[in-house]
Amino acid sequence: MTGAAFLDLSSLVALVILGLALLVSLVRIVIGPSLADRVLALDLMTVVAIGFIGGIAIRTGLMLYLDIAIALALLGFLATVALARYIIRRGLKVDQPQEEARP
């Protein structure tokens, strides 16, 4: 197996795994239970999307995708910081989550 063929196969496998990771973190965004959980899952989703873009950059050979990934990292950080500020400013004791099932 040549290097190029191996890279082609491994980038395909990595993109499938990253797609699974996106789906799994979507579960946490849907079930909550609090706003902070959803923000955390969105933050993770941004990082996974950065990885996805990296995989696409390797697969297509277009390294311009890397700039998109860096811009997305900046955007994700700013979004999380802004949402954390929003959670603080929304006030105390508003967002008490329901009791979760203990394992």
Q: Does 98 sit near other proteins (CB under 8 A)?
A: no
Q: Does 11 sit near other proteins (CB under 8 A)?
A: yes
Q: Does 60 sit near other proteins (CB under 8 A)?
A: no
Which contacts of 70-76 are long-range, i.e. CB under 8 A and separated by 24 or more positions? 72/46, 73/46, 73/47, 75/46, 76/43, 76/46, 76/47, 76/50
Q: Does 2 sit near other proteins (CB under 8 A)?
A: yes
Minimum CB separation of residue 82 from other proteins in Å reads 10
Residues that bind other proteins (CB under 8 A): 2-4, 6-7, 9-11, 13-15, 17-18, 20-22, 24-25, 27-28, 34, 36-37, 39-41, 43-44, 47-48, 50-51, 54-55, 57-58, 63, 66-67, 69-70, 73-74, 76-77, 80-81, 83-85, 87-88, 90-97, 100, 102-103
